[in-house]
Amino acid sequence: MRFLLVEDSPDIGKAVSTRMTDQGHAVDWVTTLADADAVLASSAVDLIVLDIMLPDGDGRDFLARHRARADATPVLVITARSQVSDRVSVLDLGADDYLTKPFDLDELDARCRALIRRSSGAPQDDFTAKNLHYEPQSSRLQIAGETRALRNRENRLLEVFFRSKGRVLSKALLLDRLFSLDADVSENTIEVYVGRLRQHLDGSGVRIETVRGAGYRLSDH
């Protein structure tokens, strides 16, 4: 997927674009509306992530122009939500979704995925191994044609395993990936979720191995 990120704060821009690159997307990061227009004029993107306050104008104007062009590319707006006065809602202006600062990178991921799923309709990023088919974006796990429902946390954990297939992942690392902000989660919680995933993966030929003293590893051997 190719993303256009319009964000003038260098720290946010760097963090978000790194995160998107980590997720396997190509990112065009620009800091002005003029540059954003230039990118859109030369190439097509799959998703636009747009900050509202930019040095050369208001992101809402860009949004209005974008919609006037009848461009269907989904737009996720980042706002500082300060609705002291009644401003026109960004959703009314044609944003597909919006995120309020300060946001979680995980939430940004989740919302971007939802928008892409909605706009393209097709699974973008799926894994197949043995008789298993897994679409993390729609939380769908199919084993031998049978669909198994995954909870959100189970899905996120399984996706981490698939993206690092064959690598040993420590409990601490998994904890940070999934629950970095939840105070009530301990390494025992990881054991509980790994246990559930093993049940879901039962009969697929793919399994989560325990590496004594180091952590877990996804394997399809």
Partner 1 sequence: MNTLAHTSQSLRGRLLALLGSAFLLLALGLYFGTRTIAENAADLTQDHTLAASLNAVAEQLSVVNGEITVDLPYAALALLGASGDDRVFYRVSREPGGELTGYDDLPHGDTQAPNQPVFRTEQYRGDAVRISTTHRQVFGQVGVSRVTLSIAQSRDSRTDIINGVSRNAAALGLAFLLCAMALAWLASGNALSPLRKLSLALRERQPHDTSSLQLTVPNDIAPVVQALNGFLHRLRTNLTNTETLIADAAHRVRTPLTAVKAQAQLALQHSENNAQRERLRDLLRAVDQTARSTNQILDHAMVTFRADGFTLGERFERSDLCALVTKTLNELHYTADSRDIAFVTALPALPLWLHIDPILVTEAIRNVVDNAIKYSAPESTIDIELSATSTMASLLVADRGCGIALDEQERVQERFVRGSNAGEVVGSGLGLTIVQHVMTTHAGTVQFAPRSGGGTEVTLQFPIERQP
Report the run of H or E that residue 207 belongs to, with start and end. Answer: strand 207-211
Q: Of 1, 19, 131, 219, which one interacts with partner 1 (CB under 8 A)? A: 19
Contact between 209 and partner 1 (CB under 8 A)? no
Q: Lay out the site mask for partner 1 across 108-147 (x = CB under 8 A, - = otherwise).
A: --xx------------------------------------
Report the run of H or E that residue 176 belongs to, with start and end. Answer: helix 171-179
Beta strand pairing call for 127-129 and 207-211: unpaired
Backbone angles phi, psi at 71, to 5 degrees: -85, 125
Structure tokens at 94: 């044609």
DSSP string spanning 5-33? Answer: EE---HHHHHHHHHHHHHTT-EEEEESSH
d(CA 18, CA 25): 10
Contact between 182 and partner 1 (CB under 8 A)? yes
Contact between 25 and partner 1 (CB under 8 A)? no
Q: Of 1, 129, 173, 208, which one interacts with partner 1 (CB under 8 A)? A: 173
Q: Lay out the site mask for partner 1 across 150-169 (x = CB under 8 A, - = otherwise).
A: -xxx----------------
Interface residues with partner 1 (CB under 8 A) are 9, 11-12, 14-16, 18-19, 22, 53, 78, 80-86, 100-107, 110-111, 151-153, 170, 172-173, 176-177, 180-184
